[in-house]
């Protein structure tokens, strides 16, 4: 079988997840653990190995860029890692996406996907950035639990939630303010293409409306996560790996311990997508 070819009727324990890391990555093992808990095979692989093709990205079924501060987030958050990948293995990444394989970017990983051109994906990989995740309006590191409203109407099978469903996840970032180049024109594209995955919300499920701290960073139109036009690449600022288990929730002692938190929904949806892809 050709390397990277998908298997019809792929079983959960055959799915291979790659979690790349570089200096400054700090959420890779939590991400790996979540996928392993769900029965998939997950490897944390240093980016230098992937750049050498040992192993190659094409040998995996899922690619997840985790949170952290890649290369210290010098220049801009995620910029150095993104440009390095585009220059060295941009073609491989493009083929990965064209084959329909899923890519998830979490927090710093979302920043990497935006800087590489994979998101919002209007122009394609390596093109000038069409969006940015800028310094929070509060001008400080925001580490808090937020509510997310699922906005996707069906384009992105990776969201793990139904339209209007409210999830609770933590954020931890200094540069999470989502802004768009050509804001109104680009927003219209996102809406028309059903590319908005999540928005920040109030506990009631009502959109945050830019109000702090429900929108923790001042993101344009409360946007917390988006996908590409094909729906198989998604980025989200909140951390699903930090609310995967019930004991990670801040109020489990008050409300009772549940096996899992809302983060499980995203990881489970990615694996279900791979299982049903063919």
Out of 30, 115, 175, 241, which one is annotated catalytic? 241
- Does the active-site annotation cover 241? yes
Dist. CA 63–CA 71, nearest whole Å: 19
From the candidates 107, 150, 156, 243, give the one annotated as an active-site residue: 107
CA angle 129, 106, 52 (to 5 degrees): 75
* Dist CA 212 CA 199 (whole Å): 13
Terminal CA-to-CA distance of the chain, rounded, Å?
16
Task: Name beta bridge partners: 44.
Answer: 19
The residue annotated as part of the active site, out of 18, 156, 239, 243, is 239
Taking a C-beta distance cutoff of 8 angstroms, is the pair 22, 44 a contact? no
Could you give the CA distance from residue 163 to residue 3 in angstroms, rounded to a whole number? 36
The strand pair at 16-21 and 41-46 is best described as parallel
Annotated catalytic residue 71: no
Q: Which residue is associated with the tokens 């958050």?
A: 77
**How many other C-beta atoms are found inside a 10 Å radius of the C-beta of residue 51?**
16
- Is 239 noted as a catalytic residue in this protein? yes
Phi, psi of 119 (to 5 degrees): -130, 140
* Catalytic (active-site) positions: 107, 239, 241
């Amino acid at each position: 079988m050709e390397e990277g070819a998908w298997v019809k009727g792929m079983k959960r324990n055959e799915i291979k997840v790659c979690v790349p890391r570089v200096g400054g990555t700090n959420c890779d093992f939590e991400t790996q653990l979540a996928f392993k808990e769900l029965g998939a095979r997950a490897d944390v692989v240093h980016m230098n190995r992937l750049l050498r093709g040992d192993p190659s990205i094409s040998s995996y079924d899922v690619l997840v860029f985790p949170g952290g501060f890649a290369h210290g987030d010098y220049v801009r958050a995620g910029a150095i890692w993104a440009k390095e990948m585009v220059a060295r293995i941009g073609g491989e990444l493009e083929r990965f996406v064209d084959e329909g394989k899923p890519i998830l970017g979490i927090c710093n990983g979302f920043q990497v996907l935006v800087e590489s051109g994979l998101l919002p994906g209007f122009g394609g990989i390596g093109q000038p950035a069409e969006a940015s995740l800028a310094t929070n309006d509060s001008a400080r590191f925001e580490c808090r639990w937020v509510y997310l409203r699922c906005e996707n109407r069906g384009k992105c099978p990776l969201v793990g939630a139904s339209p209007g469903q409210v999830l609770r996840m933590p954020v931890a970032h200094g540069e999470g303010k989502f802004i768009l180049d050509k804001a109104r024109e680009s927003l219209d594209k996102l809406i028309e293409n059903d590319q908005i995955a999540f928005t920040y919300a109030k506990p009631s499920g009502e959109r945050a409306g830019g109000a702090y701290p429900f929108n923790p960073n001042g993101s344009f139109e409360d946007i917390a996560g988006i996908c590409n036009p094909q729906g198989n690449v998604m980025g989200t600022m909140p951390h699903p790996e930090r609310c995967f288990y019930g004991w990670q929730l801040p109020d489990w002692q008050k409300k009772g311990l549940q096996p899992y938190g809302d983060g499980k929904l995203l990881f489970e949806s990615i694996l279900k997508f791979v299982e049903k892809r063919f």
